[in-house]
Copies of this chain bind each other. A is one copy, B any other.
């Protein structure tokens, strides 16, 4: 005789094995069938040109969005990380390599893409337009559009842009991502204008300078602008070494 306890235990085990959602065969089947989704990465590349903030866009040639602009994006390959996908897409579509991008959010509305289920992971990055030559490899009117002139984009790209813009503005205040948008030697006026353009509102000159100096991360070069028809401004550079050292030692205070 088999003890009841053993019998029921065995029965339960068999039941579990057959029915478990986590049964490996179920997983393997799901993984290879209709449970799969297409996953894309969309890159919101912000470009600064000393006048305004722009976004990199291309023509969308997919019905029903033909004629609209869209962000640059593509499906994620099976072998690559999401970060790598972002890098690849950027390089493929623009020729730009090795640009730091930050993941922002996943967008998964099942109706967001006309051809079926495409879940998109959004990334943003920020660069100085004149430091990069963008190459329209795919001849899709790759172009910078001022964010003030953005109209209806394809898919849910307006929403993605909006979320990424919020993230950019938040980061600008808490990390030194603005300094790569200026020449190595810059004036405080240039820096302030940059902050104002990206944030979208004006700042107080004296308070801005006080905050910047209080970080102790600006190097006073004791050099001055040349060939300007007014009082030449002092040149500064940003001390990335000191910044990293402070971050290591957790004595960093950078909050504008």
Point out residues on A near B: beta carbons under 8 Å: 12, 16, 20-22, 24, 27-28, 30-31, 34-39, 60-63, 74-83, 85, 92, 103, 105-106, 108-110, 115-119, 121, 138-140
Contact = CB atoms under 8 A, between A and B. Distances in A.
21 contacts: A21-B92, A22-B62, A22-B138, A24-B62, A27-B62, A27-B115, A30-B75, A31-B116, A31-B118, A35-B76, A35-B78, A36-B36, A36-B38, A37-B39, A37-B76, A39-B108, A76-B119, A79-B110, A83-B108, A106-B106, A119-B121
A35 B117 contact: no
A106 B121 contact: yes
Nearest to A60: B22
- How many copies of this chain does one complex carry? 2
Given A36-B37, A39-B108, A78-B110, 10 more contacts: A24-B61, A24-B63, A30-B38, A35-B75, A36-B39, A37-B76, A81-B108, A81-B109, A103-B105, A103-B106
A22 B117 CA distance: 16
Contact of A28 (B61, B115, B117): B115
Q: Which residue of A37, A105, A140 has the most chain B CB atoms within 10 A of its CB atom?
A: A37
A227 B27 CA distance: 54
Nearest to A28: B115
Contact of A31 (B21, B38, B63, B140): B38
A118 B28 CA distance: 11
B31 A108 contact: no
